[in-house]
Amino acid sequence: MLPKERELWIVNNNNDKEIIRTVLIYKKNKRDLTEVLLCNSDLSLSTSTTLKVEEPFVDLKYSIGINLDLMANIYDVDGQFKRKIGEVSKETFEAIQNLIDGPDPSKADFLDRGEKLVFKSDRRWVSKKNEILVSQLLSKNASEVGNLFADIDEITLTDTDPEFGYLIENLPSKISIQESIVQISENVYKIEKYEKLAIAVGAWEYE
């Protein structure tokens, strides 16, 4: 099951030094990249950029803080999405969208926020710095794969290229061959979603 917008998921960073966080699925784009917002259950760490959400605006038995300023990018095929734990209401999600992308931030007025962060002596300052680092670590895979393919506009192969055979033989069942390898002429194929393929068949591995 792939994550959908509005849902709350447990994710990790697929690393020996494991980091586990709850995130809100904010946006999915056409290249299987998912933008997520980091959340926390310790509302004492909330700042003015944290929405404090409780029932009936979330289907959890406890309140959760959704950090509007802590975003990470994760590929759907990375295995970082572990399990869904709930979702926020449509009204709450619309409010979050308006706060981040506009056009009407006032639609979030019904949600509580934390207090403004002013002094470095505030323990929330250290927490915020730590969570910024966490968002970067969760995004590490997507960032490095994105850089790897940043200058590539199109990848084509012929059916006699060794790489073509390798892709066919090693393509995981969860990835559609029809969506990933498109025939554009008699013997020439165009590779779609090449970042996703690179991870799935091991052309790029998370360190």
Model confidence pLDDT, tens digit, residues 140-169: 776 655 554 444 455 676 777 766 666 666
Q: Is residue 207 part of a domain?
A: no
The total domain count for the chain is 2
> What is the pLDDT, as a whole number, of residue 207?
38
Q: How many CB atoms lie within 10 A of CB 46?
A: 22
What is the pTM assigned to this prediction? 0.71
Min mean pLDDT across 9-18, 70-79, 178-187 is at 178-187
Domain that holds residue 191: 150-200
Are 136 and 154 within one domain? Answer: no
> What is the pLDDT, as a whole number, of residue 76?
75
pLDDT at 194 over 90: no
Are 156 and 140 within one domain? Answer: no
> Where does residue 100 rank: exposed (0-12), middle (13-18), buried (19+ CB within 10 A)?
middle
Q: What percent of the chain has pLDDT over 70?
A: 71
> What is the pLDDT, as a whole number, of residue 5?
95
pLDDT at 21 over 90: yes
Mean pLDDT of the chain: 80
